[in-house]
């Protein structure tokens, strides 16, 4: 075993592990790079240490200084452990969708965690980035890390991750598969592997299907860390400078459900507990491997452990609530049995135009209409964050703006959720008369409160206490 004089020296040099059962039936050898074995639990420890070392060297970070970063968790954890060890104050701005486990880990290292709304355009003064930048500018001795544009992020993967994979496969690697968040991992590792192999190694970007990188509509996804999301009202789509797109031979787009299935299967067949973005990388790697031969060696980089996602991808209740398929389909009637498909209207659309369009499509005054932010390309199955609420065709008639007619939703209901589920039984009229129904995380229809609670909906009926009728 190696011996280290500090926890920082234990970052990197992660093992390559061959998949046997999960890769059964595939011709090439498939290895995973176990980045969860870094001290903070993810690949981002490498970038965090590298960025801190560079800032110390160029004088941006001085003894007793404050490290400030905007992060979905893992970079913050890497920075927080290094900051704790080196004696810096650490302030992390993160979104409320960042898993509870990651936020708690940040706090455990002594980092100050500022929870902010992540669903704000990047250029808006309230965006996570704007708030982080402002805080750093106003705090003496503070340094804003800026992982997205920091050259020390890809540089560490060129210096360490790439050479480790080359050495540990004895130069046999032919395909490298990784997800793309800031792009640091794939750009640095990919560039090294291409150079050292004389261009032989193929570099594959594994991307959530809605991510802009692989041509998706930019709408939100359920997989933390991977992909590039674009707020529907962003003035411009800014890609990270840490991403060198020229290194990536091609992208493989992966559905959230397939990524979740892949990590759940990995845990049960290999005994490897990995996170959601690992599922994106794995699903892509398996798809690539199907077309390869016994002479090929595929390496998929798994960024972090599944421990941070025990309450989400590995939780049957979470899967059901968001409409993902779990191991055991619900018995008896579900929200889906009462759901109907609903058309969309964009919030800036002229209401009169919308009424004409919806009438032409055969909808009537009582039909529910979903009101959405604008996106390029029609959203047929939006993410719930793309919706501002619901309205009806009748309400749009004669209205000045779509927004003025919109009402809030009741709770989100997964398509397989049994009617006995608490989310359904606790739904009261006060919360809204209409709930969006989610199929694999996307809103595909709506259900009326009175359809699930017909007795309570009658005059004099109890609003929420009665059990729903099947």
Ligand X SMILES: Cc1ncc(COP(=O)(O)O)c(C=O)c1O
Q: Does 224 bind ligand X (CB under 6 A)?
A: yes
Q: Does 392 bind ligand X (CB under 6 A)?
A: no
Stretch that binds ligand X, among 24-32, 222-230, 349-357, 387-395 (CB under 6 A): 222-230
- Complex with ligand X: residue 182 or 257, whichever CB lies closer: 182
Q: Does 301 bind ligand X (CB under 6 A)?
A: no
Binding residue for ligand X (CB under 6 A) from 225, 306, 351, 445? 225
Helices H / strands E in the chain, number of each? 14, 16
CB nearest ligand X: which residue?
A: 225
Q: Does 304 bind ligand X (CB under 6 A)?
A: yes
CB of 149 to ligand X, least distance (A): 12
Stretch that binds ligand X, among 57-65, 67-75, 363-371, 389-397 (CB under 6 A): 67-75
Stretch that binds ligand X, among 70-78, 122-130, 209-217, 348-356 (CB under 6 A): 70-78
CB of 346 to ligand X, least distance (A): 31
Active site residue 44: yes
* Residue from 44, 102, 221, 466 carrying the catalytic annotation: 44
Stretch that binds ligand X, among 69-77, 117-125, 228-236, 365-373 (CB under 6 A): 69-77
Question: What's the token pair of residue 289?
Answer: 């491997």
Q: Does 303 bind ligand X (CB under 6 A)?
A: yes
CB of 326 to ligand X, least distance (A): 22
Taking CA atoms, 397 is separated from 62, 352, 364, 391, 468, in Å, by 62, 7, 11, 11, 33
CB of 223 to ligand X, least distance (A): 8
- Complex with ligand X: residue 179 or 392, whichever CB lies closer: 179
- Complex with ligand X: residue 178 or 402, whichever CB lies closer: 178
| Contacts of ligand X in 17-56 (CB under 6 A) | 42, 44
Stretch that binds ligand X, among 71-79, 106-114, 191-199, 265-273 (CB under 6 A): 71-79
CB of 48 to ligand X, least distance (A): 10
Stretch that binds ligand X, among 1-9, 82-90, 218-226, 264-272 (CB under 6 A): 218-226
Q: Among all chains, which residue has been given the structure tokens 């090294």?
A: 192
Question: What's the token pair of residue 300?
Answer: 């998929």
- Complex with ligand X: residue 72 or 312, whichever CB lies closer: 72
Binding residue for ligand X (CB under 6 A) from 226, 260, 292, 321? 226
* 150 CB neighbour count, 10 Å cutoff: 22
Distance in angstroms (rounded) separating the CA atoms of residues 388 and 210: 19
Question: What's the token pair of residue 461?
Answer: 């009926």
CB of 180 to ligand X, least distance (A): 5
| Contacts of ligand X in 176-205 (CB under 6 A) | 179-185
Dihedral angle sign, alpha carbons of residues 119, 98, 387, 422: negative
> Crossing angle for the helix pair 100-108 and 74-86, nearest 10 degrees?
10
With H, G, I as helix, E, B as strand and everything else as coil, classify residue 408.
coil
CB of 83 to ligand X, least distance (A): 17
With H, G, I as helix, E, B as strand and everything else as coil, classify residue 69.
strand
At residue 73, φ and ψ (nearest 5 deg) are 130, -60
Instruction: Put residue 257 in one of left, alpha, beta given phi > 0 → left and psi -120 to 50 → alpha.
Output: alpha
Question: Of all helices (H) and strands (E), which one includes residue 360?
Answer: helix 351-360
- Complex with ligand X: residue 178 or 415, whichever CB lies closer: 178
- Complex with ligand X: residue 153 or 391, whichever CB lies closer: 153
Taking CA atoms, 292 is separated from 26, 197, 214, 451, in Å, by 8, 18, 22, 52
| Contacts of ligand X in 255-284 (CB under 6 A) | 275, 277
- Complex with ligand X: residue 111 or 399, whichever CB lies closer: 111
- Complex with ligand X: residue 224 or 258, whichever CB lies closer: 224
β-sheet with 368-372: strand ranges across? 344-346, 368-372, 387-392
Stretch that binds ligand X, among 118-126, 203-211, 223-231, 332-340 (CB under 6 A): 223-231
Q: Does 94 bind ligand X (CB under 6 A)?
A: no
Q: Among all chains, which residue has been given the structure tokens 């049960």?
A: 268
Radius of gyration of the chain (CA): 24
Distance in angstroms (rounded) separating the CA atoms of residues 144 and 453: 52
With H, G, I as helix, E, B as strand and everything else as coil, classify residue 62.
coil
Contact 64, 96 (CB under 8 A): no
Using CB under 6 A, count the residues that bind ligand X: 19
CB of 323 to ligand X, least distance (A): 22
Strand partners, 63: none
Distance in angstroms (rounded) separating the CA atoms of residues 227 and 22: 24
With H, G, I as helix, E, B as strand and everything else as coil, classify residue 388.
strand
Distance in angstroms (rounded) separating the CA atoms of residues 35 and 338: 44
- Give the angle subtended at the CA of 45 by the CAs of 57 and 122, to the nearest 5°: 85
Binding residue for ligand X (CB under 6 A) from 14, 38, 66, 75? 75
Strand partners, 143: 67
CB of 194 to ligand X, least distance (A): 17
Enzyme catalytic residues: 44
Q: Which residues of the chain form contacts with ligand X (CB under 6 A)?
A: 42, 44, 72, 74-75, 179-185, 224-226, 275, 277, 303-304
């Amino acid at each position: 075993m190696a011996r280290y004089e500090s926890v920082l020296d234990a970052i990197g040099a992660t093992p390559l592990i061959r998949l046997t059962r999960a890769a059964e039936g595939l011709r090439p050898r498939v290895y995973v790079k176990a980045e969860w074995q870094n001290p903070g639990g993810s690949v981002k420890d490498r970038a965090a240490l590298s960025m801190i070392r560079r800032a110390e060297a160029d004088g941006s970070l001085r003894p007793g200084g404050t490290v400030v970063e905007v992060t979905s968790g893992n970079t913050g954890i890497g920075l927080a452990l290094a900051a704790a060890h080196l004696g810096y104050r650490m302030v992390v701005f993160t979104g409320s969708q960042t898993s509870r486990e990651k936020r708690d880990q940040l706090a455990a290292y002594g980092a100050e965690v500022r929870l902010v709304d992540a669903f704000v355009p990047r250029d808006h003064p309230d965006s996570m980035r704007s708030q982080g930048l402002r805080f750093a500018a106003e705090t003496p001795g503070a340094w804003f890390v800026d992982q997205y544009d920091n050259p020390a992020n890809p540089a560490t993967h060129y210096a360490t991750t790439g050479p480790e994979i080359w050495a540990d496969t004895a130069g046999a690697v032919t395909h490298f598969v990784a997800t793309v968040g800031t792009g640091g991992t794939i750009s640095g590792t990919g560039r090294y592997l291409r150079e050292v192999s004389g261009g032989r190694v193929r570099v594959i970007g594994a991307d959530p299907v809605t991510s802009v990188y692989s041509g998706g509509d930019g709408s939100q996804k359920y997989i933390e860390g991977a992909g590039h999301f674009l707020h529907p009202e962003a003035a411009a789509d800014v890609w990270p400078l840490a991403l060198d797109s020229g290194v990536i031979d091609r992208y493989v787009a992966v559905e959230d459900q397939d990524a979740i299935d892949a990590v759940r299967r990995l845990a049960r067949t290999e005994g490897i507990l990995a996170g959601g973005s690992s599922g994106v990388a794995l699903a892509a790697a398996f798809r690539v491997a199907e077309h390869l031969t016994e002479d090929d060696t595929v390496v998929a980089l798994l960024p972090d452990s599944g421990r941070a996602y025990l309450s989400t991808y590995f939780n049957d209740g979470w899967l059901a609530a968001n409409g993902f398929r779990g191991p055991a389909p619900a018995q008896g009637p579900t929200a889906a049995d009462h759901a109907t498909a609903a058309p969309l209207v964009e919030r800036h659309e002229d209401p009169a135009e919308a009424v004409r369009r919806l009438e032409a499509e055969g909808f009537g005054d009582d039909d529910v209409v979903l009101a959405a932010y604008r996106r390029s390309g029609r959203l047929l199955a939006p993410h719930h964050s793309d919706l501002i609420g619901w309205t009806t065709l009748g309400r749009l008639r004669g209205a000045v703006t779509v927004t003025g007619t919109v009402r809030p939703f009741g709770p989100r209901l997964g398509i397989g959720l049994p009617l006995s589920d608490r989310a359904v039984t606790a739904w009261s009229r006060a919360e809204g008369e209409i709930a969006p129904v989610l199929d694999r995380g996307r809103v595909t229809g709506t259900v009326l409160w009175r359809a699930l609670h017909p007795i309570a909906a009658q005059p004099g009926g109890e609003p929420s206490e009665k059990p729903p009728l099947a």
